[in-house]
Copies of this chain bind each other. A is one copy, B any other.
Amino acid sequence: MDPHLLRTFVAVARLASFSGAARELGYTQSAVSQHIAALEGDLRTELLTRRPVEPTPAGARLLEHAVPLLLRLDAARADVLRLAAAPPGRVTLAVSPLAVGPRLLAALPATGVTLRVLPPAEVAAAVATGGCDLGLVDGLAAPSDPLRLPDVAPLSVTGVGEDRLAVLLPAGHPFHGRASLRLDDLADARWIDAPGVVPAPAAVRTAPALRYDGTDLHALCALAAAGHGLVLLPRRVAADAVPVSDPRLVHRTELLAPGAPTPPAAALAARLAAAG
């Protein structure tokens, strides 16, 4: 179960090709074949079918383990290296599209910060693996509860904002114009699945109407307005959305910092935490 073997296994499974994985990883086909054979010999199980190349049940299971495992490994490397590396003065901040509110924007220093917009699910990984120095993620949670984040690495998590929710309805929707509504009213509504913008509402589990893979909030609003499905948003970003009165679920923003932030990152984190 050498990480190298796992890494090629993941690549082979993703590309559905030994030779493709070899190209991607800078190996020869032969080496990739040997890697997979080594894994399969070690576990005494077929992990992939050949021709077509597809994971067997055991292989699929290993994949579920291998991906977060390799992520954690990279995170560990990056984290320790970051501790020793010279502080570069410039701070990059990973943000999910809905995580940047006016108060936080106001708290940003005039210079020295790079913003990188990522899907919510990737922000934690970006911070953990050192691609970014800090992160701001948003998501849905019970009031004053921290978000449930994948624990790829020991990150410090600080709540920096809570907002009530609102639902974006198409023009002709019967609920349009109501002062507020409860989530239960929408129990069997059709939602737009936009994992790159709005974190998936774990509670609301119905078949999504449409999937949007971008990170653009305006495109998502346009889709909702056109009637492709409903969207659950923090109230502040959509003035014309109908407020949700349910007090059990709020939109929450968290500040993520690695265990050993660089001095400039720590300074920015303090400013953002104070502003939230």
Contacts and interface: CB of A to CB of B under 8 A. Distances in A.
Interface of A: 1-3, 43-45, 57-58, 61-62, 64-66, 68-69, 72-73, 75-77, 79-81, 83-84, 142, 145, 148, 150-151, 153-154, 259-260
Contact of A68 (B64, B72, B83): B72
Describe A's contact surface by its main secondary structure.
Answer: helix
B66 A69 contact: no
B73 A1 contact: yes
A69 B3 CA distance: 11
Contacts of A3: 1-3
Nearest to A150: B151
A58 B84 contact: yes
B151 A84 contact: no
Given A1-B76, A64-B154, A65-B154, 11 more contacts: A1-B77, A3-B3, A43-B80, A45-B84, A61-B83, A62-B80, A66-B76, A69-B73, A69-B76, A142-B142, A142-B145
Contact of A79 (B65, B145, B260): B65
A150 B151 CA distance: 8
Contacts of A1: 3, 73, 76-77
Please provide the 4 A-B residue pairs with the shortest distance between their CB atoms, ordered closest to farther: A65-B76, A45-B84, A58-B83, A62-B80
Chain copies in complex: 2
Contact of A80 (B45, B72, B79): B45
A65 to B, nearest CB: 3
A247 to B, nearest CB: 12
21 contacts: A1-B3, A2-B2, A43-B77, A43-B84, A44-B81, A45-B80, A45-B81, A58-B80, A58-B83, A61-B79, A61-B83, A61-B260, A62-B76, A65-B75, A65-B154, A66-B76, A68-B151, A69-B73, A69-B76, A142-B145, A151-B151
A75 B68 CA distance: 12
Contacts of A65: 72, 75-76, 79-80, 153-154
A77 B150 CA distance: 21
Contacts of A43: 77, 80-81, 84
A84 B43 CA distance: 9
A109 to B, nearest CB: 27
